Chains A and B, each alone.
Chain A
Amino acid sequence: MVRQSSLAATSTSSRRESAPVMIKVVNFPFCNYFSLERYFRIRTLPFQILENSDEPIPTDIIVLPGVGTFRQGMEFLLSTQLAKPIRDHVERDGKLVGICLGMQMLLQSSAESPGIEGLGLISGSCEQIPEDLSFSVPHIGWNEIIITDNQHNILAPLRCSSGRSKSDFYFVHSYHAKPLESNAMIATFEHPSGMLAAAIANKNCIGFQFHPEKSGSAGYALLDKVFMA
């Protein structure tokens, strides 16, 4: 099913010319799909739900949103036979964007659901955010991020000279990603135990622990860099 507004179909703006062929969104049973849909609709970007019969082409962008537990997310991808097309897409140098649980599923496993295998597109696992009286868990609300990697153009415009983001982003999670390669961590947030992952990346996969689609205009600006760059 293609959800595309008539404006998107007829627009000839420069924004549309630089847009990907198609954005394909995994529609989990419990997810923030409609928040993303609003962004695509407002920006008149073409998007559709990823079906297991799809054969994404490398210029497509697959989006893994997600709310819920690691087990439910992975069980959904396996039962709907979407895990293979997603992995194949990444192997063919296609771009994959994970948001929140979608980001955590890029890794190999999670302490939230022991024994459940993740997509394994980035080496590492997810662990529970350490309890601390000065840091409420779940980590719910707005926080600044620290951009640790200048190589990713996507995050560069958000960065102040101090490395901190100019705006805050909205987080809702209890587990955090711990990639094995430290350079996979491209942005962090502060926790009393140290810096935890706010965004991770490996080659053509990028994941955000926070919700850019729920972070107001700053979040939309970040999504513009992801989907319209």
Chain B
Amino acid sequence: MKKRIIPSILLRGGTNVSISQQFIPWRTVGTLTQQLRLHIRRQCDELLIINLDLAGSSEYLSPQRLLSLVRQEVDIPIAYAGGIKSSDHAAACINAGFDKIYMTAGFLDDHKSVASVSSVIGSQSVGVCLPYRRADLKSMPMIWDYRLSAIGQSTPLFDVIESAIESGAGEILLYSVDRDGSLQGLDINLAADIDNRKISIPVLLAGGAGTPEHFSEALSRRVIQGVVAGTIFSLTQETPSTIRAHCEQNGIRMRRP
């Protein structure tokens, strides 16, 4: 299986694209159409849209404008995250042209919701996105529920990963909130821990990728199938093509477009 470079597109205020630091959007970097075209032209392997307008909301309103732009522009795999809680929401996204959906709040509130979504659209189309933080570099990663400010009552990340797999998630995205937008490097210690736990479903890492070396370091781990990144593609010269070339030079099997 070829390893994946996945630009994330953080939407806030309709189709405006932002970049974030520690999960707080801080700068608008373009529009959805521009970003979709740019990333596809630069030969990314997959795209992830995170719709902040719906994330954690109690009601899910189908984002029609977003869906119609995706239909017009995209001929590669694209995943959606933001507000999905039920199989109806998930099926609407798949019908609209997305290949995969990620659940966070929906899953944290009710682990069984993943099973009900995956029974409708298939586990291969359901991912669980788990934001986490560490109190310091060496402490245990804990789930960070972005709707709550405190980390105190949280659950250890590894317990939740097991639960997500048992619930039928087809893929897991582990998102370091501390490293988000920092460009200082991915959580390589976590990558090593995950590799040792012999997880059988694909795992993606997000948060902190700032150089091609950060990608190759993470992707050289067996279980890490992809890296999700946003800021590097907006604030540096690197593109999915340049990062792919670097990873290939380091012996990692990457997609041949």
Contacts and interface: CB of A to CB of B under 8 A. Distances in A.
B201 A29 contact: no
Interface stretch (A50-58, A135-143, A176-184): A135-143
Given A137-B201, A138-B202, A215 B76 contact: yes
Q: What's the interface size class on A, roughly?
A: 35 or more
A35 B225 CA distance: 24
Nearest to B254: A142
A144 B255 CA distance: 8
Nearest to A164: B256
Contacts of B226: 141
Q: What's the interface size class on B, roughly?
A: 35 or more
B121 interface: yes
B2 interface: yes
A179 to B, nearest CB: 21
B31 interface: no
A70 B26 CA distance: 44
B124 interface: yes
Describe B's contact surface by its main secondary structure.
loop
Interface stretch (A11-19, A89-97, A199-207, A216-224): A216-224
A211 B99 CA distance: 10
A31 interface: yes
A210 B86 CA distance: 26
Interface in A169-211: 170, 172-174, 211
A166 B256 contact: yes
B255 A142 contact: yes
A102 to B, nearest CB: 13
A141 B97 contact: no
B99 A29 contact: no
Contact of A214 (B94, B99, B222, B256): B99
A211 to B, nearest CB: 8
Interface string A38-76: 110000000000000000000000000001110010000
Contacts of B122: 67-69, 101, 174
A166 B76 CA distance: 17
Given A69-B122, A214-B77, A144 B256 contact: yes
A214 B100 CA distance: 12
A135 B198 CA distance: 11
Interface string B110-123: 00000000011111
14 contacts: A30-B94, A32-B97, A68-B121, A135-B1, A138-B171, A139-B1, A140-B225, A141-B2, A141-B45, A142-B255, A143-B2, A144-B2, A168-B256, A172-B125
Given A172-B100, A216-B43, 20 more contacts: A32-B99, A33-B95, A34-B97, A68-B120, A68-B122, A68-B125, A131-B200, A136-B1, A136-B200, A139-B1, A141-B1, A141-B46, A142-B45, A143-B1, A168-B256, A170-B77, A174-B124, A211-B77, A214-B99, A216-B40
Interface of B: 1-4, 40, 43, 45-46, 71-72, 74-77, 91, 94-97, 99-100, 119-125, 170-171, 198, 200-202, 222-223, 225-226, 255-257
Q: Which 7 residue pairs are nearest across A and B when measured between Cβ atoms?
A: A138-B124, A34-B97, A142-B255, A142-B2, A136-B202, A30-B91, A138-B170
